[in-house]
Chains A and B, each alone.
Chain A
Amino acid sequence: MSGRIVHIAANTFREAVRDRVLYNLIAFALLMSGAAILVGQISIGIEHLVVINLGLTAVSLFGVVIAIFIGIGLVSKEIDKRTLYTVLSRPVQRWEFIVGKFFGLAGTLVVNTFFMALGVFAALFYVSRHFRAVDGWILVALYFIILQFVIITALALLFSSFSSPLLSAVFAFALFVIGTFSEDLRGFAGLTHGFTRWLATGAAYLVPNFSALNVISSVAHEQPVSGQLIWSNTAYALVYASMALCGAVLIFEHRNLK
C-alpha cells in the first residue's frame, strides 16, 4: 500500500474520532448495561441467547448507521469544502484518495466494533457469570459484521462519488435493507417465470448478500459456523467491496471538481 494511502486513511480515522463518532459507544454501553440488567430480571434460562442476539444486532445497526452517514460525506464533503483541492494538487492520485478514505473509515469501524464487542462480552458475563467455549463463535459473527461494514463503506463511497449526500444515504440504506433480505429475494426469483424471474434473479445477485453474513441467530443458539462459510463470506465481501470501490474510483477519476 502506498504511503499516501496510509496518510489519507490515518487522517480520515482522526477526523472520525475528533468528530465524536466514537461517542456512539456511550449510547451502546448504556444500551448494553440496561439490556443486561433487564434481561437478567425477566428472562429465565435464555439470558445468554437474548444478550447475544440483542448485542450483536445492536453492533451491526450502530456500525451500519456510522458507515452510511460518514461514508456518504467522505468525498462530497471534501469537494464542497474544497479541502480536496489542496490534496489533489499534490502528488496524490485520485484512486489513492478514494482507497485511503475507504481504509480510514473501515479502520474506524473496526475500532468501534472492537469496543462494542467488549460491551457485548461484558453484558454476557454479567448475565452468565462465566464464558463457555461456544461463545467463541461470537467472534465469527463479529467478523461477519465487519465484512458487512466493509461492503457498506465501499457502497457509500461509490454513491458519494457521483451523488448528493442525501441520495447516497437513501441508496446505501436501501441496499442494506434489500441485502439483508437477499435470501428471500432469491427464493422469490425461484418461484417466478420468464422476465420476472430473470429480473428478480439479476437483482438478487446484484444486491449485497447480507443474509449470508448474518449468523447472529445461529451463534446465539450455540451452533457452530462452518469454515467453508467463513472463507466464502470473506472472498465474497472482498470481491464485492473491491468492485464497488473500483466503480467509485472510475467515476471519481472522470469527475470535474468544479
Chain B
Amino acid sequence: MTAIDILGLEKTYSVGFWRKQPKCALRPLHLSVEEGEIFGFLGPNGAGKTTTLKMLMGLVYPTAGSARILGMEINDPRMKAQIGFLPEQPYFYDYLTAGELLDYYGQLSGVASKERSRKVREVLERVGLADVIRVQLRKFSKGMLQRVGIAQAILHDPRIVFFDEPMSGLDPMGRREVRDLMEQLKHEGKTVFFSTHILSDAEALCDRVAIIHLGELRSVGAVVDLTSSIEGHVELIWHGNKVPAAMNALGAECHVTGDTVRAVLLEGNQEAAMEALRREQLRIISLIPVRTSLEEYFVRKLQPSKAAAGVMR
C-alpha cells in the first residue's frame, strides 16, 4: 500500500514590500512512498525539504497540487492520529517536565488515559530519558530535546513517522541510537520518512532516497540503483615527499605537506596506487574513504538543471 502520495505539490511565496515578487520554494513535486519503507529526503540547506514536510503536516498550504497520506487528505484528523512528526530543531514548552509534555501530547493524540502513563514511561525509556521524566525541559540539553522530540513523535504508536533532520544536535552515540531506533520502527512495520543532508545516515538506513535541490526533485530511487554507475573516492597518505609517476596516470590529486603526501583518487584505482607506492618502497600511513558513491551522486545531482536556471534566480 502507498503510505505517502504526493501529487504535484507546489509552493510559491510572495515576497518583497508589496508581496508582488514570487519566490518558488517547491516546484511541482511527485513522489510516492510505500508502507514499511525508510525513505530519505535528501538535499542541501534551503532545498525545500522542510517546506515539503510542513505542507504534508498541514502547517503550510500548497500553492497547487495535493497529497494523500494513508489514502487520506493531509488535513484529515483521522490521518493525523496515525502519523508522528519531529520538526527540525524542536523546542518544547520549557515549563513542563518531560513526562507532562508527553502526557499532553498523548491527550491531544487521543491516547486513552489508562494507557498514557505507561506509554510515556515506555517511550522515554526507548529514547534513553527514563531517569529525567520529572525534570523540566528548560534544564535539557539540545540533544536531550531532540530525544524528547523523537519520543513525542512515536508516543501514540503512529503508522508513519516524519522526521525533519533527526540527527541534528546529537553526538555520535546519539546518532547511532536514532539510526537503531529508525531500524526498529521499520521492523515494527512502520514507514519512516526523514529529511537530512547527512548522506552517510541516508546511505546506512534508507530503502529509497529522493534528492531535492532548489525546490526541484532531481532524483528518486534505491541507493544501490542510483549509485550503481558511480564510484567513490579514497584518501591515501604516505610518508616522504616523493610522488610516483604512476599516481598521475591513475588520476590522483596529490598534495605534499612537509614529509607526507596526501592523494585523493577513485576507489577503483586504490590497489594500483598502493602497488605503485610499494614498488617505490614508500611507507603508507593511511587509506580512508573520503566520498562515498552516494555523496558523489549527490554532488552531481546538485548541478543546476535547465528549469532551475530559468526560474530560480
Contact B90 A82 (CB under 8 A): yes
In the complex, how many residue pairs between chain A and chain B have their CB atoms under 8 Å apart?
79
Confirm or deny: A92 has a beta carbon within 8 angstroms of a beta carbon on chain B: yes
Confirm or deny: B54 has a beta carbon within 8 angstroms of a beta carbon on chain A: yes
A232 CB to closest chain B CB (Å) equals 38
* Chain B positions 72-126 with a Cβ under 8 Å from a chain A Cβ: 77-78, 80-81, 83-87, 89-93, 95-96, 104-105, 107-110
A99 CB to closest chain B CB (Å) equals 14
Contact A19-B95, Cβ < 8 Å, known A89-B59, A93-B77: yes
Query: Quick one: CB contact mask for A98-142 with B, threshold 8 Å, 1 for yes?
Result: 000000000000000000000000000000000000000000000
B119 CB to closest chain A CB (Å) equals 14
Contact A85-B57, Cβ < 8 Å, known A15-B95, A90-B109, A91-B78: yes
Contact A11 B105 (CB under 8 A): no
Contact A11-B104, Cβ < 8 Å, known A83-B91, A85-B85, A256-B60: yes
Kindly identify which residue among B60, B78, B95, B162 contacts A258, using a CB–CB cutoff of 8 Å: B60
Confirm or deny: A41 has a beta carbon within 8 angstroms of a beta carbon on chain B: no
**Contact residues in B for A199 (Cβ distance below 8 Å):** none
Contact B87 A90 (CB under 8 A): no
Confirm or deny: B58 has a beta carbon within 8 angstroms of a beta carbon on chain A: yes
Confirm or deny: A3 has a beta carbon within 8 angstroms of a beta carbon on chain B: yes
Q: How far is the CA of A11 from the CA of B58 in the complex (A)?
A: 22
**Contact residues in A for B77 (Cβ distance below 8 Å):** 91-93
Confirm or deny: A30 has a beta carbon within 8 angstroms of a beta carbon on chain B: no
A160 CB to closest chain B CB (Å) equals 17
Contact A91-B95, Cβ < 8 Å, known A85-B59, A257-B59: no
Q: How far is the CA of A3 from the CA of B116 in the complex (A)?
A: 15
* Chain B positions 31-80 with a Cβ under 8 Å from a chain A Cβ: 54, 57-61, 77-78, 80
Kindly identify which residue among B60, B90, B96, B108 contacts A90, using a CB–CB cutoff of 8 Å: B108
* Chain B positions 196-230 with a Cβ under 8 Å from a chain A Cβ: none
Contact B87 A82 (CB under 8 A): yes
For B61, the closest partner residue in chain A by CB is A256
Q: How far is the CA of A83 from the CA of B59 in the complex (A)?
A: 12
Contact A7 B104 (CB under 8 A): yes
Confirm or deny: B152 has a beta carbon within 8 angstroms of a beta carbon on chain A: yes
Kindly identify which residue among B95, B152, B153 contacts A18, using a CB–CB cutoff of 8 Å: B95
A250 CB to closest chain B CB (Å) equals 14
For A3, the closest partner residue in chain B by CB is B107
Confirm or deny: A61 has a beta carbon within 8 angstroms of a beta carbon on chain B: no
For B58, the closest partner residue in chain A by CB is A88
B247 CB to closest chain A CB (Å) equals 51
A73 CB to closest chain B CB (Å) equals 13
A238 CB to closest chain B CB (Å) equals 27
Q: How far is the CA of A66 from the CA of B109 in the complex (A)?
A: 31
Contact A91-B54, Cβ < 8 Å, known A83-B92, A86-B92: no
* Chain A positions 238-258 with a Cβ under 8 Å from a chain B Cβ: 254, 256-258
**Contact residues in A for B78 (Cβ distance below 8 Å):** 91
**Contact residues in B for A89 (Cβ distance below 8 Å):** 57-59, 80, 83-85, 162
Q: How far is the CA of A256 from the CA of B93 in the complex (A)?
A: 22
* Chain A positions 1-34 with a Cβ under 8 Å from a chain B Cβ: 3-4, 7-8, 11, 14-15, 18-19
Q: How far is the CA of A82 from the CA of B164 in the complex (A)?
A: 13
Query: Quick one: CB contact mask for B6-36 with A, threshold 8 Å, 1 for yes?
Result: 0000000100000000000000000000000
Query: Quick one: CB contact mask for B238-276 with A, threshold 8 Å, 1 for yes?
Result: 000000000000000000000000000000000000000
Contact B80 A86 (CB under 8 A): no
**Contact residues in B for A193 (Cβ distance below 8 Å):** none
Q: How far is the CA of A91 from the CA of B152 in the complex (A)?
A: 14
Kindly identify which residue among A14, A19, A91, A257 contacts B60, using a CB–CB cutoff of 8 Å: A257
**Contact residues in A for B59 (Cβ distance below 8 Å):** 84-85, 88-89, 256-257
Q: How far is the CA of A76 from the CA of B244 in the complex (A)?
A: 64
B311 CB to closest chain A CB (Å) equals 21
Q: How far is the CA of A83 from the CA of B89 in the complex (A)?
A: 11
For A20, the closest partner residue in chain B by CB is B95
For B91, the closest partner residue in chain A by CB is A81
Can you show 6 pairs from A to B with CB atoms below 8 A apart?
A: A15-B93, A83-B91, A87-B108, A89-B80, A91-B109, A258-B60
15 additional A-B pairs beyond A14-B96, A86-B152, beta carbons within 8 Å, are: A4-B108, A7-B104, A14-B95, A82-B90, A85-B54, A85-B59, A85-B85, A86-B85, A87-B108, A88-B57, A90-B80, A91-B77, A91-B78, A91-B110, A254-B61
Q: Lowest 7 CB-CB distances: which A-B pairs, in order?
A: A91-B77, A89-B85, A18-B95, A7-B107, A89-B57, A257-B59, A85-B87
Interface residues, chain A, with chain B CB atoms under 8 Å away: 3-4, 7-8, 11, 14-15, 18-19, 81-93, 254, 256-258
Interface residues, chain B, with chain A CB atoms under 8 Å away: 13, 54, 57-61, 77-78, 80-81, 83-87, 89-93, 95-96, 104-105, 107-110, 149, 152-153, 162
